[in-house]
Amino acid sequence: MHATLIRRQLGNLIPPKVATPKLVSGGSGAGLAPLVNFYSKLPKGEITPRVGGIKGRYFSGANASGKPLVALIVGNFVISYTLDYNMHLKHHKNNIH
């Protein structure tokens, strides 16, 4: 990626210029109202990751379980055994040993 493209994408992460030197240097502090208003609207607390799909449903949070992994292993075994059995029957169809 080009440096200008990265700068353009990261430029949105910086908050807009709410406090100017004129507002901040005012002695009363009343000029900080726009700055306080801007930062009071930001979300507070820790960021909770949003995980969706199968991982969020079975492997994260209160419902954490290994059942889907066991089901995947058993399903893979059943399909593999069925294919192997059918290939073995095809082998015995024309060849007796």
Alpha-carbon span 34 to 32, nearest angstrom: 6
Tell me what the mean pLDDT of segment 26-34 comes to: 64
More confident residue, 5 or 65: 65
- Side chain identity at 82, as an amino acid letter? T
Alpha-carbon span 38 to 32, nearest angstrom: 10
Does residue 77 belong to any structural domain of this protein?
yes
Tell me what the mean pLDDT of segment 44-53 comes to: 78
33: pLDDT strictly greater than 70: yes
Banded pLDDT at 70 (limits 50, 70, 90): very high
- The reply to whether the predicted model has a pTM over 0.85 is no
Alpha-carbon span 33 to 36, nearest angstrom: 5
Does residue 55 belong to any structural domain of this protein?
no
Does residue 91 belong to any structural domain of this protein?
yes
- Note down the domain range covering 85: 66-96
65: pLDDT strictly greater than 70: yes
Does residue 82 belong to any structural domain of this protein?
yes
Structurally, how many domains does the chain consist of?
1
Does residue 23 belong to any structural domain of this protein?
no
